[in-house]
């Protein structure tokens, strides 16, 4: 079936360029990268390519399951069977702070798991949420995954079944580290001190030094203490949980501190199965070659961005007073200003911020500022009159040095570690205010270093002097 017939059979009128992009994808046998602007309809284009070529089932990986309903809806329009699969944290019916640990210890006697012996309904479900709540939804999913044409799940969830292709949505996330803030660590360490003072002291040393790797013996010792408390149903297990999560993350990431916060940078990755179809709206040309895939790029008009070059010298020596003057001036010219920065800079600008790391109301006015590596830096629509990058979001030097090693293992030139996370984070942050094709906020890059890296933003962003 030709791609155009797929659209016609579904009663859909393809948008300009969708059929051509889908046909190009259908003709690629190996990995492919599709770069198309927001609003193009990448999901329908990809699904129609699979429908046309018969390359099913397909695994669709997303950073957040919030995207699942949109992908599922488009699949249904093309007469495909979708299923949204969740991890234990979402799907477990047991009221527990740690579903993974509960399942490890209690699965054989869990009433929800036991109910699976009676079988699961032979019905058409499109999501784990539709599975009856008296069943273990996590394992019941496997039955519906096996019957699906399109399985949507988080990047790192276990893979069940075999697939003809793997789609990686928002593929720009793959080459930059995922920054995670560890909260509640102080209370967790206090709890560990009460149970095992020597181990607590050892872990505090690890956090303070920001060591490159965590000794597996330390992780195992902590897990033994935690599991003993968890098995007893002790309240201490709940207090220890942030520490357990920290150690698991730190064992495969980079630990560092920023403004008193303990952070872990989880390394970049690629799916181990293929062929892979990478999707993004914001991958500039200098990055596309690193995916080692056939590139299908839908032309789009680059957005213009102005560089304010007299406000920064180098990492750790930002001119905070210059930032304050710039933001105060913008507040006089615009009703809604969206700003992004690292915590290192944000803490020094609190006096001019109206909304800090919270989604403002629909009728908001003023300055809303967010951590450039935080949860509001991607996947959220935040219309504004101006969007400002307050400083170029380079990673701390020690994190970048570790990232170089990860890139080397992936077959990528380690020198790219200096600029790829900065460029990717910048484009994603700006995208919060430019998700609609009609949106035209003033884009300001408040750091002279943006000009030095201008070529790495093309053709998504065209950088000019202010």
Q: Is the pLDDT of residue 148 over 80?
A: yes
Regarding predicted confidence, which is higher, 383 or 216?
A: 383
Region 90-119: mean pLDDT is 93
**What was the pLDDT predicted at 258?**
79
**What was the pLDDT predicted at 318?**
58
User: What SS3 string covers 49-79?
Assistant: HHHHHCCCCEEEEECCHHHHHHHHHHHHHCC
**What was the pLDDT predicted at 259?**
76
Mean pLDDT taken over the chain:
91
16 touches 45 (CB < 8 A): no
Q: Is the pLDDT of residue 121 over 80?
A: yes
The most confident of 198-207, 316-325, 453-462, by mean pLDDT: 453-462
- Domain 178-266: give its CATH code: 1.10.275
**What was the pLDDT predicted at 314?**
56
Q: Is the pLDDT of residue 252 over 70?
A: yes
* Span 340-356, pLDDT tens digits: 999 889 988 988 899 98
The most confident of 199-208, 247-256, 422-431, 432-441, by mean pLDDT: 422-431
Residue with tokens 């999501």, as numbered in its chain: 127
Q: Is 66 exposed, middle or buried (0-12, 13-18, 19+ CB in 10 A)?
A: exposed
Q: Is the pLDDT of residue 74 over 70?
A: yes
Q: What does the block give as tokens for 162?
A: 């075999």
Query: Quick check: do 3-175+271-297 and 178-266 share a fold?
Result: no
Regarding predicted confidence, which is higher, 297 or 378?
A: 297
CATH architecture, range 3-175+271-297:
3-Layer(aba) Sandwich (3.40)
**What was the pLDDT predicted at 217?**
86
Give the class (CATH, top level) of 303-465.
alpha beta
Q: Is the pLDDT of residue 315 over 60?
A: no
**What was the pLDDT predicted at 2?**
92
| pLDDT confidence tier of residue 317, bands split at 50, 70 and 90 | low
Q: For the chain, give every domain's residue range.
A: 3-175+271-297, 178-266, 303-465
The angle at the Cα of 426, spanning 371 to 184, to the nearest 5 degrees, equals 25
Region 201-218: mean pLDDT is 76
Q: Is the pLDDT of residue 16 over 70?
A: yes
Q: Is the pLDDT of residue 310 over 80?
A: no
- Local structure of residue 430 (DSSP, 8 states): H
Q: What pTM does this model have?
A: 0.90
Region 318-341: mean pLDDT is 90
């Amino acid at each position: 079936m030709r791609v155009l017939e797929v659209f016609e059979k579904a009663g859909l009128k393809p948008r300009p360029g969708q059929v051509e992009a889908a046909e190009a994808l259908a003709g690629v046998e190996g990995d492919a990268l599709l770069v198309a602007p927001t609003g193009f309809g990448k999901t329908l284009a990809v699904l129609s390519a699979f429908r046309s070529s018969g390359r099913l089932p397909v695994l669709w990986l997303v950073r957040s399951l919030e995207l699942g309903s949109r992908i599922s809806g488009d699949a249904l329009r093309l007469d495909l069977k979708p299923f949204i699969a969740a991890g234990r944290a979402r799907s477990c019916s047991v009221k527990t702070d740690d579903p993974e640990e509960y399942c490890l210890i209690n699965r054989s006697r869990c009433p929800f798991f036991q109910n699976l012996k009676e079988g699961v309904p032979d019905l058409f479900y499109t999501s784990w949420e539709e599975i009856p709540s008296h069943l273990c939804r996590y394992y019941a999913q496997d039955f519906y995954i096996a019957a699906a044409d399109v399985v949507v799940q988080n990047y790192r969830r276990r893979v069940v079944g075999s697939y003809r292709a793997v789609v990686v949505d928002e593929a720009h996330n793959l080459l930059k580290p995922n920054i995670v803030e560890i909260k509640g660590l102080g209370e967790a360490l206090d709890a560990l001190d009460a149970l095992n003072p020597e181990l607590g002291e050892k872990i505090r040393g690890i956090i303070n030094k920001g060591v490159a790797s965590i000794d597996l013996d330390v992780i195992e010792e902590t897990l033994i203490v935690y599991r003993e408390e968890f098995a007893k149903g002790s309240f201490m297990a709940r207090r220890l949980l942030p520490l357990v999560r920290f150690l698991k993350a730190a064992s495969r990431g980079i630990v560092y501190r920023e403004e008193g916060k303990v952070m872990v940078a989880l390394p970049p990755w690629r799916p181990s199965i293929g062929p892979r179809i990478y999707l993004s709206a914001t991958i500039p040309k200098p990055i596309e070659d690193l995916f080692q895939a056939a590139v299908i790029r839908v032309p789009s008009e680059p957005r213009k961005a102005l560089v304010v070059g007299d406000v920064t010298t180098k990492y750790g020596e930002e001119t905070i007073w210059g930032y304050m003057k710039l933001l105060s001036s913008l507040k006089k010219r615009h009703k809604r200003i969206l700003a992004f920065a690292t915590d290192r800079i944000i803490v020094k600008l609190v006096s001019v911020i109206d909304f800090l790391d919270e989604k403002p109301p629909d009728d908001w006015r003023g300055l809303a500022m967010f951590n450039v590596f935080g949860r509001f830096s991607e996947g959220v629509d935040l219309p504004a009159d101006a969007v400002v990058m307050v400083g170029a979001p380079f990673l701390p030097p020690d994190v970048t040095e570790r990232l170089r090693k990860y890139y080397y293992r992936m077959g990528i030139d380690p020198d790219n570690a200096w600029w790829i996370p900065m460029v990717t984070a910048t484009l994603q942050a700006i995208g919060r205010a430019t998700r609609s094709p009609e949106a035209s906020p003033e884009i300001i890059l408040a750091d002279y270093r943006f000009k030095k890296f201008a070529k790495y933003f093309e053709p998504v962003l065209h950088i000019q002097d202010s």
